[in-house]
């Protein structure tokens, strides 16, 4: 019970800071997504594909959230875009405060149209911590089991998009795509679902086009 009271206080403070982040990002006309998933669902590969497809059209930047290390940041350096690493230490999620402190350094690296935040791999707490993003994007891979939306409802409930990733591995698993989608939609009927594979390129163009549409809708000063 005591833990829950502490948690509510932390979450309420987080919401305040997230609202400030949202205002700052909006003022700069930056469209921001927050990628949430279990470790190993292929978030970083999706970020690579998205950056690769859009970097010559618009200005993309990335914030990488990890407990420790900068392996993902290193993977993204090859694109020559602004990337900032946040190491959360023992915290299992990014929070709005971490993002607030990261934005100035990112803004110093030049104009940004599209900011991708890759959260720490965790299906639970990242869903509760608003960072100031425009949209939350959940990722699950077909190797994780089609019951995950029923077991980790908050993530699916909080998200605008769900990418069902690694569909190239689908033939080798007992994952039921239709059941997974039905389970996800049970948690959130508004969820827009894409099936993707970064190794075979399946669904990537459709996903990028969706982001292009969102970017076109974003007012730029």
List interacting residues with a copy of itself (CB under 8 A): 3-4, 6-7, 10, 38-40, 66-69, 71, 90-92, 120-125, 128, 140-141, 143-145, 147-148, 150-154, 166, 168-169, 172-174, 199
Beta-ladder partners of 66: 87
State how far the Cα of 81 lies from the Cα of 138, in Å rounded to an integer: 23
CB of 200 vs a copy of itself, minimal distance in Å: 11
* DSSP H helical ranges for 55-176: 71-77, 96-107, 148-151, 153-158
Other C-beta atoms closer than 10 Å to the C-beta of 220 total 11
Residue 31 vs 129, nearer CB to a copy of itself? 129
Q: How far is the CB of 21 from a copy of itself (least distance, A)?
A: 18
Comparison of 31 and 152: residue with beta carbon closer to a copy of itself: 152
Write down the H helix ranges in the chain: 2-27, 43-54, 71-77, 96-107, 148-151, 153-158, 177-187, 204-217
| Beta carbon nearer to a copy of itself, 70 or 134 | 70
**Nearest approach, Cβ of residue 19 and a copy of itself (Å):** 19
Nearest residue (CB) to a copy of itself, 71 versus 216 = 71
């Amino acid at each position: 019970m005591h833990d829950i009271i502490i948690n509510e206080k932390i979450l309420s403070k987080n919401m305040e800071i997230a609202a400030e982040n949202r205002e700052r990002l909006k003022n700069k006309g930056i469209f921001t997504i927050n990628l949430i998933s279990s470790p190993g669902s292929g978030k970083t590969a999706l970020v690579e594909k998205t950056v690769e497809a859009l970097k010559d059209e618009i200005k993309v930047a990335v914030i990488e959230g990890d407990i420790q290390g900068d392996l993902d940041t290193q993977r993204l350096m090859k694109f020559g875009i602004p990337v900032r690493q946040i190491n959360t230490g023992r915290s299992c999620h990014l929070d709005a405060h971490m993002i607030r402190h990261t934005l100035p350094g990112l803004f110093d690296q030049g104009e940004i149209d599209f900011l991708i935040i890759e959260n720490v791999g965790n299906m639970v707490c990242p869903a509760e911590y608003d960072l100031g993003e425009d949209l939350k994007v959940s990722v699950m891979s077909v190797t994780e089991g089609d019951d995950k939306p029923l077991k980790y409802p908050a993530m699916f409930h909080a998200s605008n998009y769900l990418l069902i990733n690694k569909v190239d591995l689908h033939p080798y698993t007992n994952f039921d795509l239709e059941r997974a989608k039905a389970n996800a939609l049970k948690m959130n009927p508004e969820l827009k679902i894409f099936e993707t594979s970064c190794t075979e390129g399946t669904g990537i163009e459709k996903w990028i086009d969706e982001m292009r549409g969102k970017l076109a809708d974003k007012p730029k000063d």
